[in-house]
Chain A
């Protein structure tokens, strides 16, 4: 994988250095100086203010303003307050956190310590995805180095601030990336997302106030503190004055580019570059000289952009304007012209049916049902009416219609809705071609097999 950067990289600035993951190398480029300065010169409230005024929005997918999230913590709580670093990077196509954790873990840890200082957390948990053994090794090594250097533990850098940090390895479930699923899992339970309210800021890990932030968010916090809120706001797309709910998209962003692309990789750019720019200027265009058919804007759960929508800006409000769910993790997966949308949707449905935690009926049954239908379509038993049924499922599951506890099924719904609405004719042609005799049938589908033994 090639990792190149077009503008002066910030988050990825040091990743190509020899032994970039060690404390020694990190300190060569002023590592932990920001922390030292903040701990000595700033109060936690001031740190919070800086982050809030920077307009930093969570990089984990939902794009919730980080500083605002911190303010939801109850004031004067006797504690403990917990901080969880969400490193369960499991959105398909996403790998920016991995690069940060593998190549520059101290940057992440410094940001985490700063975030803990700002939120008054005395314990930080890093919830790491199971499938990242190198990250596990390097993060643990970095934490050990920090303890040895007095950067973690009692009286960080000789100040009154104390912080313990634990690295927790997940057990490979997508749902653990949802913040309350993560909390349940961290507590040793089945990762079923909790009903909200109460939000984690009020009642999170072990029923105590908890902040859950993404790895890249923590890395951004470090740079905001180092360079100031104004610097951060100088990049990206300002808030739309017409839309009072738009909080703007500021700062640098790590874009993951994969799929049918010449140079897949993780690229850093200011928020707001278009899909076209990302593909052509960073990724070297679609591979093998082919044309693109579609692209996933930010992880599979965000839906699909068709090739004529590649002018979509990749900021927090951009993909939404093109019918997608949102920016998500800004992981762009390019599908070239040879890809069958039926295959794409089948794969997507298979993923979500497999990963649904099974709590809420609409998600548990809806994801499995859509997979069954896609299976049947792929077996040459498809019917045109299946598409309407799939759309009905897609439109009715998720927290947006209000039928589930967490957003997993919104993520399951969007690929269905986008793929069928934007590529309906392809589905129809596929069904007619593979099931020429029955594609128009409307009577109830016969059971494939009935086994009833009591």
Chain B
């Protein structure tokens, strides 16, 4: 066990751990400011904000000999006996000088900068900067230019940390960004004719410690301090990236990656990042409708529960299509409810949207072709309920060959998921209940057309392609007129109060062996369910 001394506080570093000065200081409780260093990228050691003093402690005598010069913390490994000093006069002075230098050519246009409020340059200025501006260089310009379809560069705000350049080289592997010119005239740019257009391009905006890279989608739409950052899970594909859902008053303004070493590291893809637009789509269904004799009749949620319950109980044989967009808990509740009425309910897995092929990136990130978040979770719930797993076409076949009295369809898809022929076969069932986000050929003619929730409105957990389960709470409330699936099922089951995903997951972890590792409270990064699979629990 290596022992490292940070400002007289001794910390221990494990055998396999490789920490640098910044990380070691963090462990001891000291924040070392930095611009260019990022745990997911190679070390540049060029911003020089993380300068600190280092030395070596003699293991025998305990005597400490310090290096005469400052070293960048990001580049200095913490080994046994290493000494770091992060809070000395010299270090503070060096930070102030770097901060001052970075502000020399910076326009300081915080009032109109998107980054203000979450800007390292701004924060560090207050923590470490000089009290007064001494530089007299000021004819600055506020030049901006697009780097691609997603990102705009505000040239003068840049501090040349080159995180974005390294990202394009190391993580996306697409090499679009570069440094142009030299010295204080250098700028980030793209090669002529090769704009920034990789599938992970939005990450450079998150990486940018200052306001130089602006997300065109988010630009000027919301001040960051008005937004709450709700942890969530992306529903764009079966990777299930950990994200922050940045919202203000139930409106999502942007999605950002949330660090999770087991799933997405520090990144998300653009598809996921901008994949929240459907949440606020005007075409979303917001009115529960009962179709009687070819006429749509608006109904109230307060009545819907008892009405559905009555009609379902009158039916003899039930079928249900369980969407891969439902959370594990929601799928579990739906099946539990329907099996109360008909223990032999015909359960099928909703269609799995597949687009293109799985795609890997040099940094280890992957975008999956399966464009739904919870196929694994729903499959396991279905398997435990029914024994066999029916996919959509198998389910449809069984349905057609032996028509049930009522069918429950859960949707939640972002785009068209059912064609007219399929809808027609299902519509032959006398009682069709569809809960979905958007109108569909099936929903339009269903007996009950119920508006459903989008991912950010749900609570529960998803299981990704690698059997990693992540729980999340709702980030925003659904639009008026929408009852989330979870709440509806909860109500149908006659449970009192509000839908509580944690309570259900605890039940599931006891009930289904596949989920036995998922005992709440879950860690922020989720749990790996395969641990238990291997052990054969």
Contacts and interface: CB of A to CB of B under 8 A. Distances in A.
Interface string A400-412: 1111110000000
Interface string B28-49: 0000000000000001111111
A389 B178 CA distance: 33
A321 interface: no
B160 A358 contact: yes
Given A353-B184, A405-B46, A454-B109, A361 B138 contact: no
Interface in A23-50: none
Contact of A356 (B67, B97, B183): B183
B186 interface: yes
A369 B101 contact: yes
Interface in A382-401: 389, 392, 396, 399-401
B139 A447 contact: yes
Interface stretch (B128-136, B400-408, B478-486): B128-136
Interface in B125-151: 132-142, 144
Contacts of A366: 101
Interface in A356-373: 356-362, 364-369, 372-373
B46 A365 contact: no
A400 B69 CA distance: 7
Given A361-B102, A452-B107, A399 B69 contact: yes
Contact of A404 (B44, B48, B139, B160): B48
Given A190-B179, A355-B183, A357-B183, A372 B46 contact: no
Contacts of B136: 372-373, 376, 444-448
A49 to B, nearest CB: 32
A400 B48 CA distance: 14
Interface string B81-112: 00000000000001001100110110101001
A362 B97 contact: yes
B48 A369 contact: no
B75 interface: yes
Contacts of B109: 452, 454
A368 B183 contact: yes
A402 B144 CA distance: 34
Contacts of B183: 353-358, 364, 367-368
A366 B48 CA distance: 13
Nearest to B161: A361
A311 B94 CA distance: 37
Nearest to A363: B183
B75 A195 contact: yes
B24 interface: no
Contact of A403 (B51, B140, B184): B51
B71 interface: yes
B278 to A, nearest CB: 32
Interface in A91-141: none
B283 interface: no
B51 A364 contact: no
B495 interface: no
Given A444-B133, A448-B138, A361 B179 contact: no
A451 B139 contact: yes
B369 interface: no
B357 interface: no
Interface in A147-183: 173
A447 B138 contact: yes
Contacts of B140: 450-452
A324 B44 CA distance: 30
Interface string B157-183: 001100000000000000000110111
B70 interface: yes
A368 B46 contact: no
A361 B450 CA distance: 58
A90 B147 CA distance: 35
Chain A interface extent, by class: 35 or more
Interface string A62-96: 00000000000000000000000000000000000
Contacts, number: 126
A453 interface: yes
A70 B363 CA distance: 36
A195 B43 contact: yes
A358 B184 contact: yes
A242 interface: no
Contacts of A399: 69
B48 A361 contact: yes
Contact of B98 (A354, A362, A368): A362
Nearest to A400: B69
Given A367-B184, A403-B94, A447-B136, A453 B142 contact: yes
Given A376-B136, A451-B140, A364 B184 contact: yes
Nearest to A381: B136
A358 B182 contact: yes
A369 B138 CA distance: 11
Given A358-B183, A403-B48, A365 B105 contact: yes
Task: Tell which of B45, B97, B107, B133 has the most Cβ of chain A within 10 Å.
Answer: B97
Contacts of B112: 454
B101 A450 contact: no
A281 interface: no
A449 interface: yes
Contacts of A362: 48, 97-98, 101
Interface string B47-67: 111010000000000000001
A355 B48 contact: no
A195 B51 contact: no
Contact of A369 (B44, B137, B144): B137
A360 B102 CA distance: 10
A450 B108 CA distance: 12
B48 A360 contact: yes
Nearest to A368: B184
A361 B104 CA distance: 11
Contacts of A353: 183-184
Contacts of B182: 173, 354-358
Interface in A420-448: 444-448
A361 B46 contact: yes
Nearest to A364: B184
Contacts of B70: 401-403
Contacts of A369: 101, 104, 135, 137
B75 A364 contact: no
Nearest to B134: A389
Interface string A329-373: 000000000000000000000000111111111101111110011
B493 to A, nearest CB: 55
A449 B138 contact: yes
Contact of B141 (A190, A444, A451): A451
A360 B46 contact: yes
A365 B104 contact: yes
A163 B104 CA distance: 50
A205 B133 CA distance: 42
Contacts of B137: 368-369, 372
A449 B136 CA distance: 10
Contacts of B94: 396, 403
Given A364-B186, A365-B102, A452-B107, A359 B135 contact: no
A371 to B, nearest CB: 9
Contacts of A373: 136
B139 A452 contact: no
Contacts of A365: 101-102, 104-105, 184
A402 B71 contact: yes
A401 B69 contact: yes
Interface in B185-221: 185-186
Leading 6 A-B pairs by shortest Cβ distance: A402-B69, A445-B136, A447-B138, A368-B184, A365-B101, A402-B70
9 contacts: A195-B45, A354-B183, A357-B182, A369-B137, A405-B45, A444-B132, A444-B133, A447-B139, A450-B140
Given A361-B159, A448-B139, 5 more contacts: A358-B181, A369-B137, A402-B71, A405-B46, A454-B109
Interface of A: 173, 190, 192, 195, 353-362, 364-369, 372-373, 376, 389, 392, 396, 399-405, 444-454
